[in-house]
Amino acid sequence: MIEISGIKKSYKMGDNIVEALRDVTLTIEDGDFVAIMGPSGSGKSTLMHILGLLDVPTSGSYKLHGREVSKLSEDELAILRRDEIGFIFQQFNLLPRMPAWQNVSLPLLYSEKKFDQDKAQSLLEQVGLGTRGDHKSNELSGGQQQRVAIARSLINSPKIIFADEPTGNLDSKSEKEIMGILKSLNAQGITIVIVTHEEEIGEQANRLIRMRDGVVQSDERKVPLAQERSSNQSNQSLDSEFHFGEMIEHFHQGWKTLAANKVRSGLSMLGILIGVAAVVTMLALGKGAQQSIEKQLSSMGSNLLILRAGNVRVAGVAQESGVRIRISMDDLAAMKAQIPAIKNVVPNVGGRGQVTYLNKNWNTYVNGVTSSFVEVRNSEPVLGRFFSDAENQRRATVAVIGRTVSRELFGERSPIGEVIKINRINFTVIGMLPEKGGQGPSDQDDRIVVPVMTAMYRLFGRNYVDSVDVEVSQKELIDETQDSVKEVLNSRHRIPLSQQDDAFQIFNMADLQQAIESSSKTMSMLLSSIAAISLLVGGIGIMNIMLVSVTERTREIGLRKAIGGRKVDILMQFLAESVVVSVIGGLLGIGLAWGVTTALASVMGWPMTISLDAVGLSFFFSAFIGIVFGLYPAKKASELHPIDALRYE
Ligand code: ADP
Ligand code: MG
């Protein structure tokens, strides 16, 4: 039973206040068939919307089955709309993309959390459309569409049906059919309230209410009400909790909506796709670069100090002048003898050398070292052997060549035993160094190693070394040894106290490695954060599209709310859509990143691998972006007022 008293509804139109309903008091019994008539603008629709819980009165009381509804929350109203009321609109308000049976089934999404094709089909049969279930609504005539809308209003077995000019857009044949259906529903015990322009229809009702200027003008009963009806008190619980199972249907719906807007969905996906691809690629790239740097560093040997001579200023007769300190082989012997922590010292004499073999010519770096080089620089020859101390002492003309030199002079042939010329002196190739990597000028394999004595006295004609590799026995002793080396050398060369800091330079490989590692880490962090920004931009793109989608589908949102969708239902629907876009974009992005890294890895020769962490991270990050950036549009949609949304053009 419906009881309204003193209902007023006014609209503000700028400075004017339009009073659509001025003071309406009515009682409608269960099982009645009531027609409301009146000229256009007399407030019929306004009254129907209030009765149908689509709108709230400015003042007055409305009791539905004994429950005062003006005190209910928006969600509680949605549940009542869903479970107790069916609303039939003049404009049908079907969703055009859905087949008829899904339109009929739509309210079930909010009550039972799933579509039920069988139930929808049986209702379509009841309204004479049994064969049209699979037709989209734009493939149906007006009369057929209205019958689908009636079937929709029936799917949750409502107690009352409100119909606002249901035949207003229909021809007279369809009008008769619709009226027939409504009458038979009334015969089944459903209360019907119908607004109409047609006197003929008004005459068919049990009771006819005429309105004018927002008040009831007349109210006449034509057919007495059957009295045996029990007053059905509402005992429905208005629980509005969210069921997780709905999410699956929302995702399904979200997917379908996106599939229907392929170009737009594709474009909004593109942002996320590029963002995720960039992040994953950058992470892989950073990791690859780091690995390759680490490999090069470890190939240099650890626990290593590299000693170079510096300059000192000495006072001469007329002026001060800079003099370069020279490190001799005797210095090396003294260091090794005096500092127990030193495991090995390797002198290093180097310079450019022109290498020839038959008609082949190559300019490379020639390095004079001792046999300790093998251990200190991890350089056991991969072919042949290294030279011995004896060969060094007798200044033998033997050479161990790098991979690049070998390739230039001998191609893929073994160079062992061949005789090459270095700066016009004949050398026998006795071994090949292991590959160390590096490109262009930093190619570690573009070098030739010869005995240091040979290099000093036969190739370059000097009696001092350029630098010394000092291998320390333990990592912990590196700093200490560094100081000892300075001390020994300073005293041997009688360096004045004031200049002791500059006389010798010592590079600590451990420090160097740390510095390089931390800078490569910083670099990859930097690249990843730039990539993350593009992900953010992708997220904003999604928000943009979702906002457009919400605006474009305002009427749809209104309809969904009118048939019982709660705030949370609408929120989840739009959220699901943006999550679907982002997650698909994210997955495609991971695929793209895989392609790009594979290509880059083969071009650059880096060991680039996409880590599972990076994939997992970007997958969840893209879902997260979908939620974060979808939330605002979804919330905006969920907060639309049903009747305002339905009126939106
Ligand atoms: P009917 O359905 O009987 O033709 P309505 O109930 O639609 O009449 O409208 C009653 C009055 O309220 C009309 O004067 C109309 O202009 C006004 N009205 C209805 N809805 C709105 C609205 N959303 N904003 C402002 N005025 C409105
Ligand atoms: Mg109207």
Q: What is the pLDDT of residues 171-201, one digit of tens each?
A: 888 888 889 999 999 999 999 999 998 898 8
With a 6 Å cutoff on the Cβ, whether 13 touches ligand 1 is yes
Q: How many domains does the chain have?
A: 3
Is residue 46 in contact with ligand 1, taking CB distance under 6 Å?
A: yes
Q: Which of 33, 40, 64 has the alpha carbon at shortest distance from 51? A: 64
Counting ligand 1 atoms within 8 A of each CB, the residue from 37, 46, 195 with the most, and so the one to mutate, is 46
Distance 443 CA to ligand 2 centre (A): 85
Sign of CA dihedral 197, 198, 199, 204: negative
Q: Are residues 454 and 583 in the same domain?
A: no
Query: Which of 512, 515, 513, 506 has its CA nearest to residue 482?
Result: 506
Domain membership flag for residue 508: no
- Indicate whether residue 43 lines ligand 1 (CB < 6 A): yes
Q: Report the distance separating Cα 184 and Cα 190, nearest Å.
A: 9
20 lines ligand 1 (CB under 6 A): yes
Mean pLDDT, all residues of the chain: 88
Check pLDDT > 90 for residue 212: yes
Structural domain span for residue 424: 326-492
128 plus 16 within the same structural domain:
yes
Q: By three-state DSSP, how is residue 199 classified?
A: helix
Same domain, 61 and 191: yes
Q: Which of 199-203, 280-284, 411-415 has the lowest mean pLDDT?
A: 280-284
Residue 222: band (very low, low, confident or very high) from pLDDT cuts 50, 70, 90:
confident
Question: Is the minimum distance from the CB of 45 to ligand 1 under 6 angstroms?
Answer: yes
Does 429 contact ligand 1 (Cβ within 6 A)? no
| Residues 634, 486 share a domain | no
Check whether residue 338 and residue 376 sit in a common domain: yes
CATH code of the domain covering residue 106: 3.40.50.300
Q: Which atom of ligand 1 is nearest to the CA of 164?
A: 2
Pocket test for ligand 1, best of 8, 17, 18 (most atoms within 8 A of CB): 18
**pTM of the model as a whole:** 0.71
Does residue 505 lie within any of the structural domains?
A: no
Q: What is the predicted pLDDT for the residue at 30?
A: 92
Per-residue pLDDT for 76 more than 60? yes
d(CA 187, CA 436): 93
| Residue 498 domain flag | no
Is it the case that residue 232 has pLDDT exceeding 60? Answer: no
What is the C-alpha to C-alpha distance for residues 309 and 465, in angstroms, rounded to an integer? 9
**Averaged pLDDT, 556-582:** 90
End-to-end CA distance of the chain: 34
**Ligand 1 contacts CB of residue 39 (under 6 A):** no
